Structure 1
Amino acid sequence: MSRLVVVSNRIALPEEGKASAGGLAVGILDALKSTGGVWFGWDGEISEIGEEEELVNTQEHDGITYASFGLNQNDYDLYYLQFSNAVIWPAFHYRLDLVQYQREAWEGYCSVNRLLAERLQPMLKPDDILWIHDYHLLPFAAELRKLGVNNPIGFFLHIPFPTPEIFNALPPHDALLTMLCQYDLLGFQTENDRLAFLDSVSQVTQIESRAAKQHRAFDNDFATEVYPIGIEPDSIKEMASGPLPPKMAAMKRDLGDIKNIIACERLDYSKGLPERFLAYESLLENYPQHRSNIRYTQIAPTSRGDVQAYQDIRHQLETEAGRINGKYGTLGWTPLYYLNQHFDRRLLMKIFRLTDVALITPLRDGMNLVAKEYVAAQNPDDPGVLVLSRFAGAANELTSALIVNPYDRDDVAAALDKALTMPREERVARYNDMMAVLRRNDIANWRKTFLKDLQALSSPHGNEGNDPVKDRPELA
């Protein structure tokens, strides 16, 4: 069997494995353990410019080679902060108003992708299969092709892909599309994302469809497919079950009959947190019977704290939380708890199990695994209710959640009222429907399906006279 080489912006080194046991790391580690292979990525270290750097540091653990590297301060600033997170991230989340494009950052982004390709290339074997992850590495296949790498290369985008009106507003959009089309297989979270990519390409150049989901553009053949990422529902259930830590048990006793609304995500403008606070305020205003009988806890640990947009949203949330509590709170009741801190994953799953409603209303999200984790953490006999934004990728699968428009605060408030008063029989039925989906589309199925399709694309890339698509089986 071919060796698998995974490339991602960050790498979960073995000593970090427990802390990174969710999301992407689970799927990658399972894939690598089953085939053996290499995980290549940044180790999170930043060196001073001019310091002598170790090109690639490798270590072996459980049959996996972890190959990591550091970045100097200049590369980190241009590639990570100024382009990945100040251009690609806001644009792909439909926030062109927050894009801060600088040509120097674009050149730095491409330069780091080139540098990483040069570091990886000597490690590759002729029959390796390469799986590249996320928006930091859009040009990576193109840089490998320049070095003569003909191995099958797949790419999975974990965030949304915007419509052409958004994407093609980026100054280097044509270059990015040309680079993306040098992957053999492009995977997306939803069909809307896949079609948005193809529409963007069609506005720049002629795109030819060779078969279902197989295409040719910019003189390259490539395939596209939808692979909604999942979770490990049984693992989540195990973490959520069992005895509570003493402090949590005491808190549960103190709350008594008060119903809990929970929300948890990193602090980011794509998550719709200010809009969510206002929707909760509408619930308190329009459904006064819930006052003193509910509590909303928002967990939002800081991310990218050195980016101004994130500093602004943190200040906004602190202000709104204080205003809402001042307006509706009483001496014996605080309606909203805003916690700007990180919680251990196992503890968080137990918190999910204890809460009556999850309020997950991003303005735009590739998938949102927290929504899936909340469902999997529930007590099957007495589950909570998921209120979910229609703009999260998970809404395409979790159709038994209460689907809302996060821009409509009254719509969200009405859904919260319904969730808080929903009969147990209906809650159980909705939970069972969603658990069936989570088990069918779990993380193992996600990585197996992607890698099976990628391995099918085994024709060498770019050989004269060959049509790499011709003999490929049609992707389901």
Structure 2
Amino acid sequence: MSSRLVVVSNRVADPRKTAAGGLAVALGDVLNKTGGLWFGWSGKVIEAEQGGVAGEGEVHTHQAGAVKLVTVDLSREDHDAYYAGYSNGVLWPVFHYRLDLADFDTGYIAGYRRVNQLFARKLLPLLQPDDIIWVHDYHLIPLAAELRALGCANRIGFFLHIPLPPPLILAAIPGHDWLIRALFSFDLLGFQSKADLGHFTAYAQAEAHAQNVGEGRWRAFNRTVHAGAFPIGIDVDEFQGLAQAKEGLDMYVRMKEEYSRRKLLVGVDRLDYSKGLPQRMRAFRELLASYPDTRDSATLIQIASPSREDVSAYSDILHELESLCGSINGNFGELDWMPVRYMHRTVARARLPGLYRASRVALVTPLRDGMNLVAKEFIAAQDPEDPGVLVLSRFAGAAEQLRDALLVNPYDTAGTAAAIHMALMMPLEERRERHQGLMNSIRRYDVHWWCDSFLEVLGEASAEESGTPWLRL
């Protein structure tokens, strides 16, 4: 692409740093090629002086190679309403089908829009006429509408990294019609799965009375928007490189030595109610209870990285998870065998490939997930001659692509336990066949495919054009 790429997301990462992850590296490749700009929140919250009000956020600029990183500070009031309140207190639970956990405080939506307006004002003077803008995730749904209101005519794409719920769940959000109307200010909407795309088109027809004008285009509010499924992938070679690097190899050797007499299972998640961690522990308990051959032989390492622990829903799940792990170890453990090794902390990304490679089974069993890249990283880290088995929730976006995994319903405790047992007992030939199919998928639809295909369509798309060619999966 010849136009400069401008990426906008809630947080900004230096794409030169491995710890930033595959997404930042992939975006960094394109940003570097075009001398691009990455814009977002600085992560800094400005407290108001006593008796006063915090001023408008300060802008910071940092050069990361050929990429310009531009960030904005937020006031405490704006952070609490935009980030903690509306983004993570309303959109996150509703988009993950948890209406019971949403806090529909009327003040949050005003702060959410105010910060999107702030971002639009700060970003607009930095734009060049032929820039292509790529906005990421649920924090910034109104950003294109705010930029358009200021006269921005650039092509703007949006990618939703989390699930989009069905129309009736989406319609429970006060002001849901305003949110969807804002999406029509983009030129291209990208979703993780065909299911999420189907939810958008169903909503667009039922609630916005949008007209299907063909080839993935929908017209409403005097705008035509393209919408498609672009499942995000990983950088397979980059992750396999981590597996062969010192930290990855050291972790692999340590795990193989430590658990030489055991079959190792692994789960790596953020501590979040969408990840189905209590349900996973109940399934593992059922495995030990119903399949005696797994006792004193199967060990589950569960890593649950801290996440938003000031919110009651997160502290509740933390206590439930700790209680379940303690009861499993107390009821089934032996002096020389602990069934669950639970860690409530973050493990360095460079060490994870070694842990994955040493594991016979990965448990990726969210109740709802946009994609879940842990599933794809586990596949990439395996030894193709003796690969582990992926047990995957059918409610993860990854399940649409990874059909050679053992797909489970995480709400079905006995069914999930049976699938885990099948994974532990699976013959080598079947494990190899399944792994080969999974590898073919993650290589074909890697993060570079995701990035290139989205930008290809966005580069051709214009909200007021017709007959633009459409990418099909």
Q: TM-score range by the shorter chain?
A: over 0.9
Q: CA, structure 1 residues 282+148, in 2 after alignment: closer, same or farther (shift >3 Å)?
A: same
Q: Tell me which amino acid in the other structure corresponds to 2:163.
A: P
User: Pairwise mapping of residues 210-289 of structure 1 onto structure 2 (< 5 A)?
Assistant: 210-241=213-244, 249-289=253-293
Match of 1:465 in 2: none
What is the percent sequence identity of the aligned residues? Answer: 47
User: Pairwise mapping of residues 23-422 of structure 1 onto structure 2 (< 5 A)?
Assistant: 24-49=23-48, 50-51=53-54, 55-241=58-244, 249-422=253-426
- Partner Cα distance (2:312, 2:29) in 1: 37
Which of 454, 469, 473 is residue 473 of structure 1 equivalent to? 469
Query: For structure 2, which runs of at least 5 residues remain unmatched after alignment?
Result: none
Q: Tell me which amino acid in the other structure corresponds to 1:207.
A: A
- Partner Cα distance (1:30, 1:14) in 2: 8
Residues 252-301 of structure 1, C-alpha deviations (whole Å, 9 max, x = no match): 32322200000001100000000000000000010011100110011001
- Partner Cα distance (1:251, 1:229) in 2: 30
Q: Tell me which amino acid in the other structure corresponds to 2:307.
A: S
Cα displacement (A) at 1:473 = 2.4
Q: TM-score, normalised by structure 1?
A: 0.95
Cα displacement (A) at 1:203 = 2.2
Count of residues in Structure 1 that have an aligned counterpart in Structure 2: 466
Give yes or no for contact 1:232–1:443 (8 Å, CA) kept in 2: yes
Given the alignment of the two structures, is residue 20 of structure 1 paired with residue 23 of structure 2, yes or no? no
| C-alpha RMSD of matched pairs (Å) | 1.5
Say which SS state the counterpart of residue 69 (structure 2) adopts: strand
Say which SS state the counterpart of residue 265 (structure 1) adopts: strand
Say which SS state the counterpart of residue 403 (structure 2) adopts: coil
- Partner Cα distance (1:259, 1:375) in 2: 17
Give yes or no for contact 1:7–1:39 (8 Å, CA) kept in 2: yes
Match of 1:11 in 2: 12
Greater displacement, 50-59 / 393-402? 50-59
Cα displacement (A) at 1:248 = 5.9
Say which SS state the counterpart of residue 370 (structure 2) adopts: coil
- Partner Cα distance (1:135, 1:52) in 2: 25
User: Pairwise mapping of residues 457-472 of structure 1 onto structure 2 (< 5 A)?
Assistant: 457=461, 459=462, 468-472=464-468
Give yes or no for contact 1:11–1:42 (8 Å, CA) kept in 2: yes
Given the alignment of the two structures, is residue 440 of structure 1 paired with residue 444 of structure 2, yes or no? yes
Q: TM-score, normalised by structure 2?
A: 0.96
Greater displacement, 242-251 / 312-321? 242-251
Cα displacement (A) at 1:27 = 2.4
Give yes or no for contact 1:55–1:119 (8 Å, CA) kept in 2: no
Greater displacement, 304-313 / 155-164? 304-313
Give yes or no for contact 2:234–2:376 (8 Å, CA) kept in 1: yes
Give yes or no for contact 2:215–2:469 (8 Å, CA) kept in 1: no
Say which SS state the counterpart of residue 322 (structure 2) adopts: helix
- Partner Cα distance (1:400, 1:7) in 2: 35
- Partner Cα distance (2:25, 2:317) in 1: 30
Q: Tell me which amino acid in the other structure corresponds to 1:469.
A: E
- Partner Cα distance (2:314, 2:15) in 1: 30
Residues 72-109 of structure 1, C-alpha deviations (whole Å, 9 max, x = no match): 11111000001100100000000001011111001100
Say which SS state the counterpart of residue 316 (structure 2) adopts: helix
